[in-house]
Structure 1
Amino acid sequence: MGAAVTEARRRLSTVLVEGLEELGFTLARHLISAGIGTVLLCDESPVTGAENSYRSLDEGRPRAEAALSLLEDPGGTSVLAEAPEGAITSGVDLRVLCVSTAALDALGQHPEALRYDCPILPVLHSPGGPPASRYGSALC
């Protein structure tokens, strides 16, 4: 019975992924593969030619729009949607921030940007190192 409850909770969950460079794109793909019910994608920055997760024809398009066209759920159990920056996203169970250390520090300077009714998981992208979550951060 425990596995069935876990699977049901996963299918009812909504996760917002902010920051869709390679790390965020990969995390979104894994969330979809894990059967998360709804995955919201948020990143209006344009795709650049140096990003491996996207196609060359996506260059210049907003990352969330391009990612939405590339990510698919083979099992058909996840709903994918674009969440424009600043949109009200009530009902989100987890907000995953895939950002650089500098961007996370900048967010810390603006507490109003962090007002959500859900946990925030900052996942830092450090060049040359593995992704990490910041120990002691007030964001999570």
Structure 2
Amino acid sequence: MRSSGNSAWVRERPSRQWRNIPGTAPAPVSSAARIGRRLRWRTAPRSGSSSPPPAAEGVMMGQAILDEEERERYSRQTMLPAWGEEGQLRLKRSVVFVAGLGGLGGPVCLYLAAAGVGTLILCDDGLVEISNLNRQLLYDEADLGKPKTAAAARKLRGLNPRTETVERRVRLREGSVAGIASDADILVDCLDNYQARQVLNAHAVRAGLPLLHGGVLGAGGQFAFLFPPLTPCLHCIFPDDAAERSAPLPAVGPAAGMVASVQALAALRYLVFGEPTMPNLFWRTDGWNPQAEALEIQRDERCPVCGRIS
């Protein structure tokens, strides 16, 4: 199914299928200002503005400043007029929690570290296995048998020593997630386990943080920016009904890289500009035939996770 400029996708319950409604289009989403207010800028925004205040002196904001090496390192992205050095400083002060350091989490971390995110919290309880190496670009054969968190942190420090890495070699559980993700500005779901995804989703809703969901199956993948009450939560889309099997699923490396790139871009857009990426849409693509579709998703008012949020 492909969406067009004059079509919208709506979700039919309870079958959880989508159908195309010709001649209609999704209502424009004007939530950037609201999201900007929710984003915990390290300095307070101006009254009535969704953006952080301009630098008071040159590129100084709060206690942060870009030195000459940073200006050169990030110059190709700070050339963007809306990004600039002030936007780079927002990245420098930001904290991103990445859950899962596999085919998605690896490229996400590489791109965010390269872009200058200040702190990456790396969460994974696994060891590097040889079956990972077809798609998990953070690792090589020298890392086999090592904790993914340690191997990832080492690789990321080599890429950009200015990005702090915090290792969390734990399995996501209800009782532990709040403690290990408490400082984050945004959560990135790079998991391959349904139960762990729902734990992370519940924490995102409780903490009032956006969740960037990504998934890969074969040569295809999916993405959603989830931030109730502006959007559904993950449970609205995938209720607890054994939606995923515990057995390993097929995954082609470039498909994981494709979805991870979308997740990384969405994280940068949120952290620099305070803007959502495709809110209320579920993006998916087939890598064998590079076409994407955006499916409209709706909140479930009876959702036990986010239904009471308004």
Scaled by the length of structure 1, the TM-score of the pair is 0.79
Q: How does 1:41-120 map to 2 (within 5 A)?
A: 41-52=122-133, 53=137, 54-72=139-157, 74-85=159-170, 86=176, 88=179, 89-100=181-192, 103-104=193-194, 107-108=197-198, 112=202, 114=204, 115-120=206-211
For residues 1-36 of structure 1, give each alpha carbon's deviation from its aligned partner in whole angstroms, at most 9, with x where no partner exists. Answer: 652221111110000111111221111000001100
Question: Given the alignment of the two structures, is residue 31 of structure 1 paired with residue 112 of structure 2, yes or no?
Answer: yes
**1:37 CA displacement:** 0.5
**1:110 CA displacement:** 8.5
Unmatched runs of 5 consecutive residues or more in structure 2 = 1-53, 55-81, 171-175, 226-230, 235-278, 280-310
Q: Percent identity?
A: 26
| Separation in structure 1 between the aligned mates of residue 219 and residue 209 of structure 2, nearest angstrom | 31
Residues 116 and 62 (structure 1 numbering): CA distance in 2 closer, same or farther, change over 3 Å?
farther
Q: Indicate the RMSD between aligned Cα atoms, in angstroms.
A: 2.8
Scaled by the length of structure 2, the TM-score of the pair is 0.39
Name the SS for the 1:22 alignment partner: coil
Which stretches of structure 1, 4 residues or more, deviate above 3 A after TM superposition? 73-76, 104-117, 134-137
Unmatched runs of 5 consecutive residues or more in structure 1 = none
Question: How many pairs were matched up?
Answer: 137
What residue is the counterpart of 2:233 in the other structure?
138
What residue is the counterpart of 2:283 in the other structure?
none
**Structure with bigger gyration radius:** 2
| Separation in structure 2 between the aligned mates of residue 107 and residue 133 of structure 1, nearest angstrom | 13
**1:109 CA displacement:** 7.7
Q: Is the 8 A contact 2:96 2:120 kept in 1?
A: yes
Larger RCO: 1 or 2 (CA < 8 Å, sep 6+): 1
**1:74 CA displacement:** 4.2
Question: Given the alignment of the two structures, is residue 14 of structure 1 paired with residue 81 of structure 2, yes or no?
Answer: no
